[in-house]
Amino acid sequence: MKNPMSIQRKDQSTNQRKKANKRGKRAEWLAAFSLRLKGYRIVARGMRTKSGEIDIIARKGDLVAVVEVKYRNSIDDALNAVDNRSQLRIANAANIWLSAQRDYDKLSLRFDIIAVLPGKWPKHFVGAF
């Protein structure tokens, strides 16, 4: 017989993951909306490659912005959440995406972070890494 406390803890952690996932999806939607208002065209959201996932790929002319979205309580927490390992994973995934584009030789690539804080408009860090 399973321990009722371990089942309850598992249910709580599952609920926490679901809430975090929902917050993350809302943050990505808000980040994409803010990019559209700045004149970007959203090319992909939640794009998965063998190297990892890219939250948002946005274009403005020949510029491709690969955007990592972080929902945190502070800007510092959001920026620090994108560590060197994350940056490498995102860069590898971006290169896979870029190599599949017909006009890849004309495109310039930039890596941005959008920090979404509770009750605040998203803060866009251009060329964050």
Residue 102: which CATH number?
3.40.1350.10
Beta strands in 1-129 (DSSP E): 41-48, 53-60, 63-71, 108-116, 123-125
- Work out the pLDDT band at 15, boundaries 50, 70, 90: confident
Q: Is the pTM of this model over 0.85?
A: yes
32-80 pLDDT, tens per residue? 999 999 999 999 999 999 999 999 999 999 999 999 999 999 999 999 9
Q: Which domain holds residue 78?
A: 4-125
The length of the chain is 129
Number of domains in the chain: 1
Strand partners, 48: 53
- Work out the pLDDT band at 1, boundaries 50, 70, 90: low
Separation CA 54–CA 14 (nearest Å): 24
- Work out the pLDDT band at 7, boundaries 50, 70, 90: low
